[in-house]
Amino acid sequence: EKDTGTFLDWEGNSRGSRRNMGVLSVRSALVTGANQGIGLGFVQHLLALPNPPEVLFAACQDPKGQRAQELQKLASKHRNLVIVPLELTDPASIKAAAASVGEHLKGSGLNLLINNAGILRKNTLDNETPKDMSEVYATNTIGPLLLSQALLPLLKKAAQGSPVSGLSCNKAAIVNISSSGGSIKEIQSWEVVQAVSYRCSKAALNMVTRCLSLGYREHGILCVSFHPGWVKTDMGNIDGYTPGCRALPGQPLGTHACVSPSALQAQLTVDESVGGMLKVLSSLSEKDTGTFLDWEGNVLPW
């Protein structure tokens, strides 16, 4: 009786929510932090869609630098990929990026903004600093808000020109890549990494999502927060956490009783995470705006 209407995997675990997955089809999209990790994954997956965007903006801090090599290679093969310089802690850079996106779009709107870029400082509760609190907040919270504001006219234009009724990612949407680490109700992985500045910035980003969803609903723009899962990227690499994340003084990472070594490995590949999120994005509608979801479509506690 209790299982009717549930969505199970081959082991009988309850997976994700039962969603009608559609097909993501957008004329234009912008991804921040697009040179590596999950952001680069979004770019690769969007380019590989059956109906890829006519214009895909890949925003990164240093388009000509070493770290953007993969992106440069992709841009040489895909004429629809446009690399845009963007430093999220600099409001002038955000304005310039939005202006350049507007010029490229030549009068049409922007369907999808993925605020993916972010930073994590591995500080503990005891050694968290005002400088790191500010830098992480500026990057993870203020940056996405300012970029959403700057791109609002283009998102509105996309919504106005869309034949799609109701809210949909195929019409106009802002997707904030948050983290379950920002959940206040269910604190995740405290024993592994405390990162107070990161947790606060993502909790605040979730509030930004709620506010955007309230303010932009009338413009036809859907807004959600996503937890991408624990993903094998530079940020998701636990090795780097070791120095700063001793849960108890004097106990190195991995020796803490409640953390098993297997619990210290990121479980998801970028492909799995991004593939999951894009499927979920294709299924979102009016009722989903202002929610906090994971890469499988589960609703997460704030």
Q: Does 111 bind ligand NDP (CB under 6 A)?
A: no
> In the structure encoding, which two tokens stand for residue 128, read together?
């968290």
Distance CA 173, CA 159 (A): 9
Kindly tell me which residue out of 67, 251, 261, 267 binds ligand NDP, with binding defined by CB under 6 A: 67
SS3 (DSSP) at 79? coil
Distance CA 218, CA 6 (A): 33
Least Å distance, CB 11 to ligand NDP, is 23
Nearer to ligand NDP, 34 or 55 (CB): 34
SS3 (DSSP) at 286? helix
As a residue count, the chain comes to 302
Q: Does 283 bind ligand NDP (CB under 6 A)?
A: no
19-58 footprint of ligand NDP as x/- string (CB under 6 A): -------------xx-xxxxx-------------------
Kindly tell me which residue out of 111, 116, 206, 209 binds ligand NDP, with binding defined by CB under 6 A: 116
Number of residues that bind ligand NDP (CB under 6 A): 31
Q: Tokens 């009722």 appear where? A: 287
Q: Tokens 């953007």 appear where? A: 68
Least Å distance, CB 226 to ligand NDP, is 8
Distance CA 170, CA 164 (A): 8
Kindly tell me which residue out of 42, 57, 137, 230 binds ligand NDP, with binding defined by CB under 6 A: 230
Distance CA 227, CA 17 (A): 14
SS3 (DSSP) at 248? coil
Nearer to ligand NDP, 145 or 159 (CB): 145
Residue 27 and residue 259 in contact, taking contact as beta carbons nearer than 8 Å: no
Least Å distance, CB 255 to ligand NDP, is 22
Binding interface with ligand NDP (CB under 6 A): 32-33, 35-39, 60-62, 67, 86-89, 116-119, 139, 177, 179, 227-228, 230-231, 233-236, 266
